[in-house]
Amino acid sequence: MDRKFKVVKIDHIAFATESIKETSKFFSDILGIEHTEIEEVENEKVNVMKFFNFNKSTSIELLEPISNDSAVNKFINSKGRGLHHIALEVDNIINAINYLKYNNVSLIYETPQSGSDNKLITFIHPKSTPGLLVELCQK
């Protein structure tokens, strides 16, 4: 199967934290990086705040669980706060999913879900990468 999608850019780097309010102080007060308002992503059970600098095409996202059964809460409980995932924007998420499935790459969602900023998302399981959770997203 031919690859019928392209990785366009690094969309964001996500950091899991117990408290957006506390963690955001470093990025906003100390580093002076602009940020968005907090957005609730209901199906992922998290609050998200984005920090932008320079060209505003890549962001740092703070992820705060809003439910004990959210994947981010489970991550924090097992690994502590820290780097959660790197998101890559693709030009065609359906083609990306089909190609990855064809190549036996383990996905969290085989059907794209709605993520932050109404992007379509899926995640590549860390067992199919060099140990990092990778999100694919499409505007």
Per-residue model confidence (pLDDT) at position 137? 98
pTM, rounded to two decimals: 0.93
User: What tokens were used for 86?
Assistant: 């790197």
Examine the pLDDT at 57 and tell me if it is beyond 90.
Answer: no
Q: How far apart are CA 61 and CA 8, in angstroms?
A: 19
**Contact present, 137 and 87 (Cβ < 8 Å):** yes
**Predicted local distance difference test score (pLDDT) of residue 121:** 98
In tens, the pLDDT along 38-56 reads: 999 999 999 999 999 767 8
Q: How far apart are CA 53 and CA 100, in angstroms?
A: 32
Report the distance separating Cα 45 and Cα 30, nearest Å.
28
Domains of the chain (ranges; CATH) run 7-138 (3.10.180.10)
